[in-house]
Amino acid sequence: MSRFIRPFCAALAGVCACLVAWPGAAHDGPHGPDMIARVERAAGAGRALEVDLVVTGLGAPLVLSDVWAPGADVRFDGPVSIGFAQDVAVSARLTFAGGPPSIFTLMLDFGVAGQGAVTVIPGF
């Protein structure tokens, strides 16, 4: 009977070792800034689009240093400071070469705190 128990115990020890090491690898530092961003308005005409956001800080104070979207030239009057539990209105004007897409991701750059993203659906 011990010839069956020994391989079972060895396999069980290997599984336990993997489970103990796995959570440490999965949580390797912060994954992004502690904030919520919501689109209040996304409207425009032609190639230009005005996007109004409200960004709420959920942790340590943040500084929104840049806003960008793939394929767009962005005018953003930043940097903007955002404190804990503070709602801050942020506006950006985006110009696309071929007109705004029907849906895109607006990236919010918080410098060393990381980046956040919000989905924008113009006219919705």
pLDDT of residue 20: 45
Contact between residue 73 and residue 119 where contact means Cβ atoms under 8 Å apart: no
Given this structure, which CATH class describes domain 35-120? Answer: mainly beta
Within a 10 A sphere around the Cβ of 25, how many other Cβ atoms? 7
pLDDT less than 50: residues of the chain: 18-28
Question: What confidence score (pLDDT) does residue 120 get?
Answer: 96
Instruction: List the chain domain ranges.
Output: 35-120
Query: What is the three-class DSSP state of 114?
Result: coil
pLDDT tens-digit readout, 37-58: 999 999 998 999 999 999 999 9
